[in-house]
């Protein structure tokens, strides 16, 4: 089932989420900044004075700028809400993330939030966390397949398939609907990457004049992406376009072109629209980047955990599935989104 067929569960706009989080944060502190905008009183009671909470966050790895920005945002909002956020860096390694989750099981937490690097690799230790009564929030990628219930508090994600479709469509139009394209993928066991590949192929199927030259996975690793592109630029004298699963890999491909010493007019588009991607769009290195707002999704996971531990919200009060909608960043709107990102609102 396409993710957007279930949008009725929940859709949060960037502005409403940011305002809601700001309102809650300011209600939890004795004083708000003098220049803070006035807002309606928070619907939920403030955190009890002096109370602090403990949360553990794990994502694919801080080598990826998406993951690094998301963790910094979770830490920042945690400080506003009285939550001590412990970050586990999976280092883009399945075994390392499994070890991290096993370590979490040995400790006490008010809630845990996890972005799985690979599906079906963390289910056992996650079940043990849940058995201890700890809310576990799954974000961005699935810990277990759709339909398998292990007691997760909720699963929140962007529509990876749609993001890929939007970016790929812009790329295909930019090259006039014909030419040769490279598809640089993330980690193949990563459910977000799987959906991004599906979205890419959904669009490419409409363009019989476009030939897909290569679809190697670079596993979100800029060094691996750079090596792949070093080889591709030698192997294929003609490449018209590329869709990369994230900004980091797209910009690594751009660096490979520079290293080659040859002018190559290749149209690039990607996903994430974080610092690398927004700067790439503004400089013209990327035609677009479909936004998977790292700050927003990490912040949302933090807020859901906060509502559980500080406000007593129960699991049956939380939708089991949430779509976090995001836009496509182009030169026309990049500056505004860069401001929101730099100020930890997306």
pLDDT of residue 50: 75
State the Cα–Cα distance between residues 309 and 54, nearest whole angstrom: 9
Q: Per-residue pLDDT averaged across 74-85, rounded?
A: 97
pLDDT over 90 for what percent of the chain? 83
Q: How many CA atoms lie within 13 A of 119 on its CB side?
A: 15
pLDDT of residue 325: 80
Residue 115, classed as helix, strand or coil, is coil
Residue 230: is its pLDDT beyond 50? Answer: yes
Give the chain's mean pLDDT: 89
pLDDT band at residue 1, thresholds of 50, 70 and 90? very low
Q: Per-residue pLDDT averaged across 151-155, rounded?
A: 98
> What are the strands, taking DSSP E only, across 97-220?
111-114, 136-139, 154-157, 179-184, 210-214
Do residues 239 and 264 lie in contact, with contact meaning Cβ atoms separated by under 8 Å?
yes
Superfamily in which the 160-291 domain is placed by CATH: Response regulator (3.40.50.2300)
| Of the candidates 73, 87, 57, the residue with the CA atom closest to the CA atom of residue 25 | 73
User: Is 160-291 the same fold as 3-157+294-324?
Assistant: yes
Per-residue pLDDT of 297-308, as tens digits, reads: 999 999 999 999
Q: Which CATH number is 3-157+294-324 given?
A: 3.40.50.2300
Domain assignments of the chain as residue spans, ordered by start: 3-157+294-324, 160-291
Per-residue pLDDT of 39-72, as tens digits, reads: 333 444 466 667 899 999 999 999 999 999 999 9
pLDDT band at residue 294, thresholds of 50, 70 and 90? very high
Q: Per-residue pLDDT averaged across 28-44, rounded?
A: 38
* pTM score: 0.86
CA 203 to chain centre: 22
pLDDT of residue 41: 37
Measured CA to CA in angstroms, residue 7 lies from 3, 63, 119, 146, 315 at distances of: 7, 31, 22, 15, 19
């Amino acid at each position: 089932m396409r993710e957007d067929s279930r949008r009725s569960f929940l859709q949060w706009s960037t502005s409403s989420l940011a305002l809601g989080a700001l309102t809650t944060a300011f209600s939890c502190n004795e004083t708000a900044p003098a220049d803070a905008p006035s807002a309606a009183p928070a619907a939920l009671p403030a955190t009890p004075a002096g109370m602090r909470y403990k949360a553990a966050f794990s994502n694919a790895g801080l080598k990826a700028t998406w993951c690094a920005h998301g963790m910094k945002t979770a830490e920042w909002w945690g400080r506003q809400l009285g939550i001590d956020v412990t970050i586990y860096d999976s280092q883009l390694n399945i075994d390392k993330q499994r070890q991290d989750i096993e370590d979490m099981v040995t400790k006490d937490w008010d809630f845990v939030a996890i972005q799985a690097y690979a599906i079906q690799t963390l289910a056992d230790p996650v079940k043990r966390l849940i058995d201890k009564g700890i809310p576990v929030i799954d974000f961005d990628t699935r810990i277990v397949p759709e339909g398998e219930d292990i007691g997760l508090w909720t699963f929140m994600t962007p529509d990876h398939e749609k993001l890929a479709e939007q970016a790929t469509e812009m790329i295909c139009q930019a090259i006039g609907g014909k030419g040769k394209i490279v598809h640089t993928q993330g980690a193949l066991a990563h459910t977000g990457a799987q959906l991004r590949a599906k979205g890419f192929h959904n669009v490419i199927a409409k363009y019989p004049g476009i030939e897909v030259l290569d679809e190697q996975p670079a596993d979100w690793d800029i060094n691996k992406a750079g090596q792949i592109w070093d080889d591709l630029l030698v192997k294929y004298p003609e490449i018209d376009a590329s869709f990369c699963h994230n900004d980091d890999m797209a910009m690594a491909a751009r660096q490979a072109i520079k290293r080659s010493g040859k002018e190559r007019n290749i149209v690039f588009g990607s996903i994430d629209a974080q610092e690398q991607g927004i700067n790439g769009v503004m400089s013209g290195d990327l035609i677009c980047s479909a936004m998977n707002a790292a700050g927003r999704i990490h912040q949302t996971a933090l807020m859901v955990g906060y509502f559980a531990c500080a406000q007593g919200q129960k699991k049956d009060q939380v939708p089991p599935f949430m779509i976090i909608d995001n836009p496509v960043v182009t030169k026309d709107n990049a500056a505004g989104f860069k401001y929101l990102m730099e100020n930890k609102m997306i």
